[in-house]
Chains A and B, each alone.
Chain A
Amino acid sequence: MHLEQGTVPRDYQSYLDRKVRWIVFGILVAFFLFVMAISVGAVAIPPLDVIQTLFGISASVKWERIIWNIRLPQALAAVIAGIGLAIAGVAMQSILRNPLASPFTLGISSAGAFGAAVSVVLLGTGNIHSTVANPISISNPYLTTVVAFIFCMLATGVILMISHIKGASPEVMVLTGVALSSLFSAGVMFLQYFSTDAQLAAVVFWTFGDVGRATWDMLPLMSFVVGAGTLYFIANRWNYNAIDAGDETAQGLGVDVSRVRLVGMTIAALISAVIVALLGVIGFVGLVCPHMVRRIIGDDQRYLIPGSAVMGAILLLASDTVARVIVAPFVLPVAVLTAFMGAPVFIFLLFRGYKR
């Protein structure tokens, strides 16, 4: 059929421009917080000197060392993990058609914690060292990370297999995730019950997600996985919009719904697994950032995905900065702060309703 040519309505264009402006504003806020995150800490560095140092103009050798060796990798990890958790959350909410879905709905966090517990208790990688920077640390972080990652992917594999056999229905995926989550949590409790005080502390410590664990050698892997995942989700934004309109509508529009679900779920799980294995469990970001953005710029995935990525970076940077100053000289793990920081903002947005 043929439709006569219409025009690009001006009011529609300005409606889209408004969304773009929100995202650009978010990026500016994120950059501001990025500088603040580097500036604030045991030694305060003036924000201007931070910017100079980042652009390669040396302000002072001492600050250069602090920034490049300690603060920058931590701030970058906050940005990358924030983006990764938030886009995994957006994708899971769309794939599972469930507003409560998050990167951890499929039991990835419990699986990771169980993996860490196995490593600490059974493989003996846990120990207590007392240093100023880290009150408790794990004696072999590499092995712990690897084992945690293996269990994360094991959980994903089980859900994929069951979804593949039973058809990729959101109900099957969610319920399998809940079951696996409980199973791994029980496993962690079992191991904790038989562990020594030191091992118990190490396991509990591991589960507190902390971007302070990030080192330069972690960042390439994290950025690659999160970057590739973000690109994938953005490339599939129309498919997610279609699935949001209902499975049958999506199929009528030529979208292979089962395939989009399975691939999207795998990528979201991979992103979450890498972040959990490297930094521990950081809750709330993946669940709430997408909803915050929905309240501001709506459900259109074309803007929701990039918007959530920016919001994830903002929330994690802000939480990490506050975590380092709130009870100084003690440093809280960021996971404690994400909910403290995010929940009031989120409740405010829920209370206010949608932006018109």
Chain B
Amino acid sequence: MTEMLTVNELKFMYRNRNVLEKIGFSIEQGQVVAVLGPNGVGKTTLLKCLNRILRPREGAVMLDDENLLGLTTMEIARRVGYVPQRVETGRLTAFDAVLLGRRPHIGWDVTPRDIAIVDAIFTKLGMESLRLSYIDEMSGGELQKVAIARALVQEPKVLLLDEPTSNLDLKNQVDILTTIRDIVRDHKIAAVMTMHDLNQALRFADTFIFIKNGSVYIHGSNDIVTPSVIEDVYGLPVMIGEFGGIRCVIPGACKIA
């Protein structure tokens, strides 16, 4: 495994308020990374700093020896795909919506190669039947898949996802996260996603980054996810148990018989 994305001393200020301070971590190829922490701690801000939707005050984001913060937005978009929390719909087919993901590669107009890549991603994600459906008639789960497909046709090395499973039912949550994990492993890319559901994170992520007070509280594989870390970060006592070989986090102090 090789390190592909390294974040150094990242600092972000919103007006005069420090939001992120001295954020540093690195990510290996083929990893799914969960960024965890309570609401308002700056998880989304961190994600947006990684592809410079927000411009960090200080620091560097190195992707394979290139500092992303020194590239143009178009160059970043060819390397990093971003799936925001909210996706707008319109009277567009899913195919056109995904084709938009080729924007960073398109000159004057789409080429047959662009179309072929889009077609291939529909097959890959098992959503061929949705190609010509209008996205304003889609369910939340289908729409989220379209958004992920759109980011994937950017041919990114790193995929950033902002709460990819919020607003989804249980089956769709598992579907989406399985898809992300499989794609990341198959294509040797990396995914960084902010999450609220610690159980889903434990099941699908390889690496965990807990954010507290604008900096990384702890960073590592799933053995760092302990009741004391969670209580420190979220301010809530929890129990961690094992259920059919899967670790589960349950809120509440460990006193119930």
A residues with a Cβ closer than 8 A to B are 1-9, 11-12, 15, 235, 238-239, 241-242, 244-246, 248-249, 251-256, 294, 298-300, 354
A sample of 6 more A-B contacts (CB under 8 A), given A252-B82, A254-B103, is A1-B152, A5-B116, A9-B119, A248-B82, A248-B86, A300-B92
User: At the interface, yes or no: B167 with Cβ under 8 Å from chain A?
Assistant: no
Smallest Cβ distance from B231 to chain A, in angstroms? 32
- Set of chain A residues within 8 Å of B95, measured between Cβ atoms: 9, 12
**Contact between B73 and A255 (Cβ–Cβ < 8 Å)?**
yes
Which of A1, A244, A248 makes the CB contact (< 8 A) with B187? Answer: A1
- Set of chain B residues within 8 Å of A15, measured between Cβ atoms: 93, 132
Total cross-chain contacts (CB, 8 A): 130
Closest 5 CB pairs of A and B: A252-B82, A254-B77, A6-B119, A6-B120, A248-B84
**Contact between B132 and A252 (Cβ–Cβ < 8 Å)?**
no
Contacts A/B (CB < 8 Å), 13 sampled:
A1-B183, A4-B120, A9-B131, A11-B131, A242-B100, A244-B90, A252-B51, A252-B83, A253-B77, A253-B82, A254-B73, A254-B77, A255-B103
B residues with a Cβ closer than 8 A to A are 48, 51, 53, 72-78, 80-88, 90-93, 95-97, 100-101, 103-104, 106, 108, 112-113, 115-124, 131-132, 134, 147, 150-157, 160, 183, 187-189
Which of A7, A248, A252 makes the CB contact (< 8 A) with B77? Answer: A252
**In the docked arrangement, what's the CA distance between A1 and B30, Å?**
11
**Contact between B156 and A1 (Cβ–Cβ < 8 Å)?**
yes
Query: Given known contacts A3-B121, A4-B120, A8-B112, is B96 in contact with A249 (CB within 8 Å)?
Result: no
**In the docked arrangement, what's the CA distance between A256 and B53, Å?**
9
Which of A6, A241, A298 makes the CB contact (< 8 A) with B100? Answer: A241
| Residue among A7, A11, A248, A354 facing the most chain B CB atoms (10 A cut-off) | A248
Smallest Cβ distance from A81 to chain B, in angstroms? 27
**In the docked arrangement, what's the CA distance between A258 and B190, Å?**
29
Smallest Cβ distance from B13 to chain A, in angstroms? 16
Residue of B nearest to A1 (CB): B187
**Contact between B157 and A5 (Cβ–Cβ < 8 Å)?**
no
**In the docked arrangement, what's the CA distance between A256 and B77, Å?**
11
**In the docked arrangement, what's the CA distance between A9 and B75, Å?**
29
**Contact between A6 and B92 (Cβ–Cβ < 8 Å)?**
no
- Set of chain A residues within 8 Å of B92, measured between Cβ atoms: 241, 244, 298-300
**Contact between A246 and B84 (Cβ–Cβ < 8 Å)?**
yes
| Residue among A8, A241, A246, A249 facing the most chain B CB atoms (10 A cut-off) | A249
**Contact between A6 and B118 (Cβ–Cβ < 8 Å)?**
yes
